[in-house]
Chains A and B, each alone.
Chain A
Amino acid sequence: MNSKTSHCRNTSAPQKMAHDKDDKAAPGKSGACCHSVESKEEASIAPQTCHKQAKAQHLTTEEACAVNQPGTKRASSAQSDAGHADTQPTSDHILLVEGASCASCVSKIETALKAVPGVEQAQMNFADRSVQVTGSASADLLIAAVEKAGYQAKTAEDTAAADLLDEKEKADWQYYKTLLRHTTVALGLGIPLMLYGLLGGDMSIHNDSQRFAWLAVGLVTLAVMIISGKHFFIGAWKSLLNHNANMDTLIALGTGTAWLYSMVVVLFPEWLPQLARHVYFEATAMIIGLIDLGLALEIKARGKTSQAIKRLIGLQAKTARLIEGDNERDIPIEQVQKGQILRVRPGEKIPVDGEVLEGHSSIDESMLTGEPMPVVKSAGDAVVAGTLNKSGSLLFKATRVGKDTALAQIIQMVKRAQNAKPPIGRMADAIAAYFVPVVMIIAIVSALVWLNFGPDPSVAYAVIAATTVLIIACPCALGLATPMSVMVGVGKAAEAGVLIRNGEALQLASSIDVMVLDKTGTVTEGKPKVTDIVLINATDEHQVLQQVASLEAGSEHPLALAIVESANDRGIKVSKVQGFNAITGQGVEAELSGQRLSFGNLKLMQEKGVELGNAKEKAQQLAEQAKTPMYFAKDGKLMAIIAVADPIKTDSLSAIKRLQKLGIRLVMLTGDNQATAKAIAAQVGIEEFIAEVLPEDKAAKIASLQQSGAVVGMTGDGINDAPALAKADVGFAIGTGTDVAIESADITLMRGSLHGLADAVAVSKATLSNIKQNLFGAFIYNVAGIPVAAGILYPFFGLLLSPVIAGAAMAFSSLTVVSNANRLRWFNLGQGDRS
């Protein structure tokens, strides 16, 4: 079962739908869950249509169009981020004010803002130094007004970009350290106490000295509860006030009851039968410590999710060089307007999307396309913000600026896909909402039954039964079942070079039905190489490569680089050529030792009048094998064909077989043409492939595969894969790709081999199975344990479970969970299959 489905089913449904005819937008229907949420939001950030916006905002098409006219103000950053911008005739701005040190500043700032034309209301929250401003005034005017009043201000939108990420990291790191400190304190007490009990130490009260000793331990435990477990108790209390019962409630109930019972044993032992005078301080401390540890590990795993956005934001240039007549000047990127003429020099990033007017240069687009080969651009070609201009100077016209650039859209897509990604339902949490009240009721019922029908001293029996029910129903095993397996599973995966970002990814990866593989850099090396040298009239392959490499040494064409590199690999030294001439779109020519050399495509040969004969067919055969054939002619005579191709990774075929053995349907995705895609897919044994997919459409392809209900994994290596990686149920970034793509993925394959992918899936399956065993065990334990604790066996066998046994059972259940999780350490990652 796809967890997303169950997640959506739990959602409260409204009584009546906003737009019944729009099934997907209707809340409460399964289509309104996160699958459709993502796809719709994603659609709205592509070139937007009124219809799409209307769907996303529950408005009519006309309304959406009417409010989306140029000049309409943004509603808020948050709204904009969620794809719901521009619905209000007025705008709300949240300003963050710096320098306001006293409450009297509030009225000064509010007055200054209210004086700005268009401001309807300005309300400052002194506690967080934020001002909510309503009206039609622009953010710039508002900031200027605050600055004039003697303070610094920035919009929440500005801080959201980069600063907030830093702050989030700091906050997470602080919380992580705090939790580890809490863990150390709690386990520092819990472990020695537990060892004492396990090694035969007396944990019962028989005399006054024991009472005093355990009273001291009880007070220390109370201190531990306050220091390390305060957040559980506060959370439980607040949840209680909100009529919720969650994990905090269970932890607080379990640990609190264990402690209270123990304190009653210490302070009033005479209230209880001799057998029941046992303390459970170690359980309290251990549970708090282990849960804190689990939370800390979760923080650690979640920590880097924002790195992708940070990296993407980092790709944006800070300034652009504006051409105004004969003048050139640098302006901040925010000021660039559509239609302006800009210059980009070698080594600079392209500031905004545009169309080249003048110049010729090769552009490294690998950060956006994932394709390693730089692309040659000249007049009429499109350039993309964030890509790197490598060789020449270009003059281009800005066509898309600000939030409209491809880079900004990718940033938004990643943000959105990450935000909209639905959670793996935490079974233990879902159960907790019913489990805790049910356990409380069972405890009360069992106490009443004992009071009414139990033997003397019935009060003592009632207290024991109720307390035992609460202790045995402690969520310790349930709480540990998942994180322990995840911890071990993630560690095991790391050993195999598979970095798993979080537990959710690990769980989802185990249930992948369809795995989408990006071709370039995933199935193939991602680096073009010379694959074939077919001699026609030449006799020496070495000489052919030497001459062609000499010819191409002066070329910037990506394929030329492959040829020169191939020559270098063979230790061939290039010679200097004369009269080098690069013919755009055809090839190159030059003179070497008095001979005229030409190297290029069919068109070049035809123009030069070179007789090709049967060589054309040979070239066609090479093309069908996903290779790019080029002709080499000397003095007008065809000498050889050299084919360049992006070779398939040597272990792709065996890894793909492993994946297929795991029952996963494989789909190859590529921007290449049908013929190349077909050839590559056939060579690696993949039956399904989708060719000619634009980078921005990859996420949409993932979404369409998800619509059938399949759990879809995506493996890619480029930043252009980032939205698709985030959109997929599980995104796998292959380690040979850029860091950006890796950061946006749920799982990173460090080795760059597809075997890492098979390992990731295998270890995920093993881990999920382990989690299920743990949860099943924990459930059975609770289901069997609670009735026994309540005393159901007493009428038949005279057996009443002592809290001693309950405590031991609780400890044993935890031990079982941890031990079972540890079995994962011995899981074989299938090296045997790799041969």
Chain B
Amino acid sequence: MMLINLIGLLLIALIIWWFWLYKGQSQAVGDEPVQVLVKDGSYQPARLTLKAGAAASLVFKREDASPCAEQVVFPGLDLSETLPLDKPVTVQLPPLAPGTYAFHCQMQMYRGELHVTDNGNRN
């Protein structure tokens, strides 16, 4: 019984960690454009790390026919772009100050984050 309780509590902890506390792997964006696949209800990769003060390019390619995926919005960066199906669209990011910038679809079902750090590595 003790074991089952423990498993239950671990499951709860896992849920809390997985959905609320976890800060996942982040792909570094350097001089080369990074492709972000819009597929199956998510951005792949959804977490990107950029160096502060350097311009960078993201190439979004939408393979998800859901209308939700049609727009990508960077609300903190004055940027938004329409993503046609199966056509790469380059989003040019301006030089940014360190911080975390969200990007998402219009309804915020697809979500991603840009982590801008001084050295371009995830802190």
> Which residues of A does B touch, CB under 8 Å?
7-8, 10-19, 25, 27-28, 32-34, 36-37, 40-41, 56-59, 75-79, 81-82, 84, 87-88, 92, 94, 96, 125, 128, 130, 132, 156, 159-160, 164, 167-168, 171-172, 174-175, 178, 231, 234-248, 295, 298-299, 302, 415, 419-420, 422-423, 425-426, 429-430, 433, 436-437, 440-441, 444-445, 447-448, 451-452
Interface residues of B in 16-46 (CB under 8 A from A): 16, 18-20, 22, 24, 33, 39-44, 46
Contact A437-B78, Cβ < 8 Å, known A16-B98, A234-B40, A235-B41: no
A463 to chain B, nearest CB (A): 12
| Known contacts A167-B84, A436-B19, then 15 further A-B pairs from the complex at CB < 8 Å, ordered by chain A residue | A75-B90, A76-B90, A82-B79, A87-B92, A132-B33, A164-B84, A167-B85, A171-B84, A175-B65, A234-B41, A238-B42, A243-B18, A437-B15, A448-B4, A448-B8
A419 touches B100 (CB 8 A): no
Contact A15-B95, Cβ < 8 Å, known A156-B87, A168-B84, A168-B85: no
Cross-chain contact of B109 among A11, A171, A246 (Cβ < 8 A) = A246
B8 touches A8 (CB 8 A): no
B76 touches A13 (CB 8 A): yes
Contact A37-B12, Cβ < 8 Å, known A17-B97, A419-B82: no
Cross-chain contact of A128 among B86, B94, B96, B106 (Cβ < 8 A) = B86
A584 to chain B, nearest CB (A): 47
B81 touches A82 (CB 8 A): yes
A441 touches B78 (CB 8 A): no
B contact residues around A125 at 8 Å (CB): 88
A contact residues around B121 at 8 Å (CB): none
A contact residues around B75 at 8 Å (CB): 7-8, 11, 27, 32-34, 37, 422
A contact residues around B102 at 8 Å (CB): 11-12
Q: How far is the CA of A231 from the CA of B16 in the complex (A)?
A: 25
B96 to chain A, nearest CB (A): 6
B contact residues around A247 at 8 Å (CB): 109
A56 touches B78 (CB 8 A): yes
Number of A-B residue pairs with CB-CB distance less than 8 Å in the complex they form: 223
Output the nearest chain A residue to B88 by Cβ-Cβ distance.
Answer: A130
Q: How far is the CA of A82 from the CA of B107 in the complex (A)?
A: 20
Q: How far is the CA of A25 from the CA of B86 in the complex (A)?
A: 32
A-B contact pairs, 5 of them (CB 8 A): A17-B97, A27-B75, A231-B66, A242-B43, A440-B15
B contact residues around A77 at 8 Å (CB): 89-90
A78 touches B65 (CB 8 A): no
A13 touches B99 (CB 8 A): yes
Residue count of chain B within 8 Å CB distance of chain A? 65
B contact residues around A156 at 8 Å (CB): 87-90
Contact A14-B99, Cβ < 8 Å, known A92-B33, A441-B15: yes
Cross-chain contact of A82 among B9, B80, B99 (Cβ < 8 A) = B80
A611 to chain B, nearest CB (A): 64
Q: How far is the CA of A235 from the CA of B89 in the complex (A)?
A: 22
A32 touches B76 (CB 8 A): yes
Q: How far is the CA of A64 from the CA of B33 in the complex (A)?
A: 22
B40 to chain A, nearest CB (A): 4
A contact residues around B1 at 8 Å (CB): 451-452
B94 touches A447 (CB 8 A): no
Contact A423-B106, Cβ < 8 Å, known A128-B86, A171-B65, A238-B41: yes
B61 touches A128 (CB 8 A): yes
Q: How far is the CA of A178 from the CA of B67 in the complex (A)?
A: 13
B contact residues around A41 at 8 Å (CB): 78
B contact residues around A59 at 8 Å (CB): 94-95
Q: Chain A: interface secondary structure?
A: helix
For the complex, is B116 an interface residue (Cβ under 8 Å from A)? yes
B contact residues around A87 at 8 Å (CB): 55, 92, 94
Q: How far is the CA of A405 from the CA of B94 in the complex (A)?
A: 26
B51 to chain A, nearest CB (A): 14
B contact residues around A243 at 8 Å (CB): 18-19, 22, 24
B117 to chain A, nearest CB (A): 10
Contact A58-B84, Cβ < 8 Å, known A238-B42, A243-B19: no
Q: How far is the CA of A399 from the CA of B108 in the complex (A)?
A: 43
B41 touches A248 (CB 8 A): yes
A contact residues around B22 at 8 Å (CB): 243
Q: How far is the CA of A239 from the CA of B70 in the complex (A)?
A: 17
A78 touches B98 (CB 8 A): no
A238 touches B40 (CB 8 A): yes
Cross-chain contact of B78 among A16, A37, A299 (Cβ < 8 A) = A37
B77 touches A447 (CB 8 A): no
A423 touches B108 (CB 8 A): yes
B87 touches A159 (CB 8 A): yes
Contact A14-B5, Cβ < 8 Å, known A58-B94, A167-B84, A168-B84: no
B78 to chain A, nearest CB (A): 5
Output the nearest chain A residue to B81 by Cβ-Cβ distance.
Answer: A78
Most chain A beta carbons < 10 A, residue from B16, B61, B78: B78
Output the nearest chain B residue to A309 by Cβ-Cβ distance.
Answer: B82
A51 to chain B, nearest CB (A): 15
A407 to chain B, nearest CB (A): 20
Output the nearest chain A residue to B58 by Cβ-Cβ distance.
Answer: A78
A contact residues around B113 at 8 Å (CB): 12
Output the nearest chain B residue to A235 by Cβ-Cβ distance.
Answer: B41
B contact residues around A246 at 8 Å (CB): 41, 109
A contact residues around B11 at 8 Å (CB): 444
Contact A420-B80, Cβ < 8 Å, known A32-B75, A164-B87: yes
B contact residues around A236 at 8 Å (CB): 41
B76 touches A239 (CB 8 A): no
Q: How far is the CA of A235 from the CA of B74 in the complex (A)?
A: 22
B99 touches A239 (CB 8 A): no
Q: How far is the CA of A18 from the CA of B75 in the complex (A)?
A: 14
B8 touches A242 (CB 8 A): no
B67 touches A27 (CB 8 A): no
B contact residues around A420 at 8 Å (CB): 80
B26 to chain A, nearest CB (A): 12
Q: How far is the CA of A57 from the CA of B93 in the complex (A)?
A: 9
B82 to chain A, nearest CB (A): 6
B contact residues around A175 at 8 Å (CB): 65-67
Output the nearest chain A residue to B75 by Cβ-Cβ distance.
Answer: A11
Contact A79-B95, Cβ < 8 Å, known A8-B75, A37-B75, A437-B16: no
Contact A15-B80, Cβ < 8 Å, known A33-B75, A77-B90, A172-B67: no
Output the nearest chain B residue to A20 by Cβ-Cβ distance.
Answer: B97
B contact residues around A239 at 8 Å (CB): 41-42
For the complex, is B122 an interface residue (Cβ under 8 Å from A)? no
The 7 A-B residue pairs with the shortest CB-CB distance in the complex, in nearest-first order: A14-B99, A27-B76, A235-B41, A79-B92, A18-B97, A423-B106, A12-B102
Contact A27-B101, Cβ < 8 Å, known A84-B94, A167-B85: yes
A contact residues around B44 at 8 Å (CB): 238
Output the nearest chain B residue to A14 by Cβ-Cβ distance.
Answer: B99
B101 touches A14 (CB 8 A): yes
A27 to chain B, nearest CB (A): 3
A429 touches B94 (CB 8 A): no
